[in-house]
Each structure stands twice: as structure tokens, then as C-alpha cells.
């Protein structure tokens, strides 16, 4: 009788826990299908950033300016040789919000430089930044499987543009353009290759937020297909993103 009484007492809690676990399990399954199995588990899931170098040596003296906006005089700094754009901080917050609660705490989200995995293909990856700045984006862009877009100069403006299915998308003073690309990794078939790249920094961070905000919609729409989205990021705000074009194969 004691076991029966205990079971009856805790049955509501057990039932509640099961019902709460089901949506989480579904979400985890979809994350793995959309981003690749290593997004939540063991294996390689790389978030690839694009550090760049200051052209002057440290011996040249102060190479950077730190602005204090009137609180004190601006300060010259020698600074690091290899740096990242401030939009990387925004990318970190978007990724942590989307994946942090579902990943094992012993498996931290891994950011790597494009140079660190220059010759690596054994995993899934998301590359941030266009092929003008990210070496791994360039590698993916030049794969035969990418029949979606090229990064070109627009002869009418002399500016960089994305050519997607014959349509050219250029940056304007109030509107950046960006692509979100997903293609199957040809050298590791269970994994996916992603690019979130703007013509400017707001396009890169805005497209990243758009991907991680709407990934479940894309999962349902594209299933196991390769796809590309073109988005406009308006007014230097990652919150103001408009989808312009999409196609899949």
C-alpha cells in the first residue's frame, strides 16, 4: 500500500515533468536536424569568426584610439595585432540565447578563427562575415555545391554586391544587405555549412539574429534542402530585418 500511496501522491509531478520534457526533446531533435548533430552533442560544431590584422607594427606606436566621449581625453593605444569587430559581441548574445539552454554545460559554444580551421571540414560550422574577410566563408563560397550566389563588384556603383540568381543586392547608407546560406557539407555528409554574411557589419549580425530567431521556421520549410536567404538590415538595427528573397535545392 505504501508504494501505491507514494505513486498516487507524486503522479501529478511525474506527469507534469514528462509534459514539460516533451517540447524540449522536440526542440533538441529539430536543432540537430537543422544545424547538424554536433550542435548539441559531441563532435565539431564551429562558429567561425574573421580576425584581421593591423598593418603597422607595434614599434610604430599608438595604432588605435579609445574614445571616452568627453569623460576624459581620448586615449591612444598600441592595441592587439589581431582584432575582431564589435559585432562579434552581438553574435555571442544571439547564439547563447538560442543554444545555451539546450547544450550540455560541459560542452561550451566554440568560437574559432577562420585560420584555426583553414583545412578542417569534419563538422558543422557557421561562418560570420563575407569572403572579403572570412577565409572559411571563401572556402564554402567556392565549393561546387554553392550554386546560389557570388560576391561581385556592381559595375554601376563600383561597390560590392551579392549576385543571387541574377539579382544584385548592394548596401545603401540606411540599409545593409546580407545572405544566410546553408548547404550540406560535401566532406562530412551528416553536417551542414552555414554562412551569415553582410556587405557591412550590421548585415552580418542582423542575418545571424534572423537565423537564430527563425531557424525553426526554416527547419519546417526547407527540411533537408540547401537554401539561401537574402535579407535587408535597416537602420543599423539587428531588430529591423526584412526577408527579400529565398530559394532552395
Residue 220 within a domain = yes
160 in a structural domain:
yes
Task: Decide if 218 contacts 224 (C-beta within 8 A).
Answer: no
**Structure confidence at residue 3 (pLDDT):** 59
pLDDT given at position 2: 61
Per the structure, the count of domains in the chain is 1
13 occurs within a structural domain: no
Return the pLDDT at 19.
Answer: 45
Cα 12 from chain centroid (whole Å):
41
Residue 16 lies in a domain: no
- For the chain (length 249 residues), average pLDDT per consecutive 10? 56 51 84 94 91 94 94 95 92 88 79 94 96 97 96 91 96 96 95 97 97 97 97 95 97
Residue 18 in domain: no
Range of the domain at 127: 34-54+61-248
Within a domain: 237: yes
49 lies in a domain? yes
Give dist(CA 6, CA 70) in Å, integer: 67
- Domain-embedded: residue 14: no
Pairing of strands 124-128, 192-198: parallel
| pLDDT at site 157 | 85
Contact 138, 148 (CB under 8 A): no
Amino acid at each position: 500500500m505504501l508504494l501505491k500511496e507514494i505513486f498516487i501522491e507524486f503522479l501529478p509531478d511525474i506527469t507534469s515533468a514528462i509534459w514539460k520534457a516533451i517540447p524540449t526533446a522536440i526542440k533538441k531533435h529539430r536543432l540537430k536536424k537543422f544545424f547538424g548533430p554536433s550542435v548539441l552533442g559531441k563532435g565539431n560544431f564551429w562558429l567561425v569568426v574573421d580576425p584581421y590584422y593591423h598593418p603597422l607594427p607595434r614599434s610604430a606606436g599608438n595604432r588605435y584610439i579609445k574614445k571616452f566621449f568627453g569623460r576624459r581625453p581620448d586615449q591612444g593605444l598600441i592595441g592587439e595585432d589581431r582584432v575582431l569587430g564589435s559585432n562579434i559581441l552581438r553574435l555571442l548574445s544571439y547564439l547563447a540565447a538560442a543554444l545555451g539552454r539546450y547544450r550540455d554545460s560541459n560542452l561550451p559554444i566554440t568560437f574559432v578563427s577562420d585560420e584555426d580551421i583553414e583545412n578542417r571540414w569534419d563538422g558543422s560550422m557557421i561562418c560570420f562575415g563575407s569572403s572579403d574577410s572570412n577565409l572559411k566563408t571563401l572556402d564554402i563560397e567556392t565549393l561546387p555545391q554553392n550554386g546560389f550566389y557570388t560576391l561581385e563588384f556592381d559595375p554601376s556603383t563600383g561597390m560590392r554586391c551579392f549576385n543571387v540568381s541574377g539579382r544584385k543586392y548592394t548596401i545603401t547608407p540606411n540599409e545593409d544587405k546580407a545572405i544566410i546560406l546553408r548547404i550540406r557539407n560535401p566532406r562530412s555528409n551528416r553536417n551542414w555549412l552555414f554562412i551569415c554574411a553582410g556587405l557591412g557589419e550590421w548585415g552580418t549580425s542582423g542575418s545571424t539574429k534572423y537565423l537564430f530567431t527563425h531557424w525553426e521556421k526554416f527547419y519546417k520549410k526547407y527540411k533537408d534542402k540547401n537554401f539561401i536567404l537574402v535579407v535587408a538590415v535597416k537602420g543599423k538595427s539587428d531588430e529591423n530585418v526584412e526577408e527579400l528573397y529565398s530559394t532552395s535545392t
